[in-house]
Structure 1
């Protein structure tokens, strides 16, 4: 399988993201699959994805007409689009890093990353993040996200790319590791 990374440019690609997201949503897969393959925690809608992509297009990996994976771009301006994530954005602003608050840095949030099962283990995850760095590192100091601490596959994959855990916190849903990839 030969894939390449690019930015989202069509509604059909957004629909493919929604389909892959649904297939890997924590509530739609078994606990065993969650542990072995990872999972995503939040489900978006097409109008929400369109608004996000109007602000900053997300990165996708495609193989022909098949979506191999996606990595959602969420600058701070997206915090009002997904109200469930507003507390996360607020929390990030108050998170210390390198002796300053994150709010003092130019950062954006990795809204979600997911690789289709047929392309797992083929470097898609890393390629999605490398494309993020290529596309957005001139305008941002770092990229930040949070991962459920029980999603060990995702934590290991993020560490492999270059993310470091800068904070851990608990909310009503889960325990979360806040991870950051420094581009400065």
Structure 2
């Protein structure tokens, strides 16, 4: 297993393939409950723009991307319209007595491990690589996770994330904003 950062168009395409396989819309309720899911479907252009600002962290089994953690900076906030409300919320929320927007933070744009590779420590190893790449340039990592995605919430808690805010979106989906202070 190799943990690295995405460098090629082929790796970005493999991220998108893995993403599509794990979108909530593509999974049954049982699969969602047992395995978790991802919410946002990125375009190649958006993923590539994000990658140019900060390369995504990937795990590869030989030449195949089997896991990814997307890196999203504040400069990407307008590139993925569905995520703009999250950035707007960061303008209002505080973390450790300071507005989130006043920190230099990185957003975990999404995380996914391929079905055949789950439960082998790859999630934790990807996050160790993520921290290693970004801890000297950002104060912390932050993301939001749907409350019904308990597998993801538990995995994020295990690596060190803490819930700093909960809210219900206009569509009724409940979310947890979680931060990992390095």
TM-score range, shorter chain: over 0.9
**Which residue in 2 is equivalent to 1:4?**
2
Deviates more, 1:57-66 or 1:85-94: 85-94
In structure 1, the partner of 2:95 is 97
- Report the equivalent of 1:172: 170
Structure 2, gaps ≥5 residues long: none
Structure 1: distance between partners of 2:148 and 2:103? 28
* C-alpha separation in 2, matches of 1:9 and 1:59: 10
**Cα deviation, residue 172, structure 1:** 2.2
Match of 2:17 in 1: 19
The answer for the alignment partner of 1:155 in structure 2 is 153
Task: Render the CA deviation track for 1:115-159: whole Å, top value 9, x for unaligned.
Answer: 001110111111111111100100111000000001000000000
Equivalences for 1:40-79 in 2 at 5 Å?
40-79=38-77
SS at match of 2:125: helix
Deviation track 1:61-114 (CA, whole Å, cap 9, x = no partner) reads 001011110000000001111111111111123211111111121111100000
The SS at the match of 1:80 is coil
TM-score of the aligned structures, taking structure 2 as reference length: 0.97
2:40 & 2:24 partners in 1: Cα distance?
8
SS at 2:170 equivalent: coil
Q: CA RMSD in A?
A: 0.8
TM-score (norm 1): 0.96
Q: Size of the alignment, in residue pairs?
A: 181
State the 4+ residue runs in structure 1 displaced beyond 4 angstroms: none
Give secondary structure in 2 for the equivalent of 1:177. strand
Q: 2:111 matched to which residue of 1?
A: 113
Q: Using the alignment, how far apart are the partners of 1:16 and 1:171 within structure 2? A: 30
Secondary structure of the residue aligned to 1:114 is strand
Deviations 1:165-184 (A, max 9, x none): 0000111231100000001x
2:124 counterpart (111, 120, 126): 126
